[in-house]
Homo-oligomer: A and B are copies of this chain.
């Protein structure tokens, strides 16, 4: 479950005092709350330690960097997956799911997503962790839906699914990150209209 955690093979019983689950939880919560309030750059390990009422070494024993910690805190807070509603058509199902995604991106977790992608540009481990733990599972789900669409004859069979997913979803992240235009439901509608027209049989 934990990413960026240093050691602690979960194998069996080890001697010594066990790590405190309570402290672990308090750290994650403190990190998430401070992250939401003051952002990644202004976020300090000292502030997290103080708010969690924990020593700094207790944090460093578990996470090797601020990025890894924030990553874990984010994943612990956004566990419930987005689902593809079972509507009449695949296109409408995707449209509804993308509208849900936009809501998430506009909420505090969305800001954290932006910050994690941002931080990942100078931290290869971070962007990989985000990719593997958040992005790819969601892309897999979208991929399933696409294949269903192909099977039931609604979508073209000669299209690379990965490219199709990129075409649909990347504009959401693009606006999240660049902020050159607002992320609205209308935007999703227009986008789905254009891209799904290109993907339809």
Contacts and interface: CB of A to CB of B under 8 A. Distances in A.
Interface of A: 39-42, 114-115, 117-123, 127-128, 130-131, 135-136, 139, 159-160, 162-164, 166-167, 169-171, 173-175, 177-181, 187, 190-191, 193-199
A167 B194 contact: yes
A7 B121 CA distance: 30
- What is the interface of chain A mostly: helix, strand, loop, or mixed? helix
Nearest to A40: B122
B122 A121 contact: no
Nearest to A190: B163
A160 B122 CA distance: 34
A162 B120 CA distance: 27
Given A135-B178, A174-B174, A194 B114 contact: no
A166 B160 contact: no
